[in-house]
Amino acid sequence: MPNSVVILIAIVWIALMVVVGTRQRRIDMARLRASFDALRFETAEGVVAGDKLLVVKEVAFEKSREGSMSLRSRMGETFWYCVGPGQSYWVAMPMRMPRKGPIEWVVHPLSEERMRAALSGDRQASAMAFGA
């Protein structure tokens, strides 16, 4: 009987951690997106807010325990490849994401050639950025 109680408590604890972790990731991603939407980008058609850009691809990296870089879908060390009006392209990278306060971004404009290279091998992202 005591072993089954310990196992039950462990299962409940694990389930609770999964729910809390999932909720926190959703909150973090919503906060990251809101921060991106508030950025301003200079385009051929004038200044536009981040919410007017189309993010065609997100790539996330995280260091593994062995020290090498591994792909992972989570906030941090991410590259957002974006398309704006007038054939304008950027890569945006959140660099500092404190729990509270503003998220700091580094944004670089890309030429069409560099954007195509960044999206090579990803047909869906390329189609979103450049059409069929």
- DSSP assignment of the chain equals -HHHHHHHHHHHHHHHHHHHHHHHHHHHHHHHHHHHHH-EEEETTEEEEGGGSEEEEEEEEEE-TTS-EEE--SSSSEEEEEEETTTEEEEEEEEE--SSSPPEEEEEEE-HHHHHHHHTT-HHHHHHHH--
Bridge partner list, 59: 79
Give residue 10's pLDDT.
Answer: 67
Which stretch of 15-19, 25-29, 54-58, 75-79 has the lowest confidence by average pLDDT?
15-19
Q: What is the mean pLDDT of residues 113-131?
A: 94
Task: State how far the Cα of 78 lies from the Cα of 105, in Å rounded to an integer.
Answer: 10
Q: What is the mean pLDDT of residues 92-104?
A: 75
Write the pLDDT tens digit of every residue in 42-90: 888 889 999 999 999 998 876 555 544 444 434 457 899 999 998 899 9
Which stretch of 4-8, 9-13, 43-47 has the lowest confidence by average pLDDT?
9-13
> pTM for this one?
0.70
Taking residue 93's Cβ as centre, other Cβ atoms within 10 Å add up to 14
Query: Tokens 């508030």 belong to which residue?
Result: 38
Q: Which amino acid is at 63?
A: K
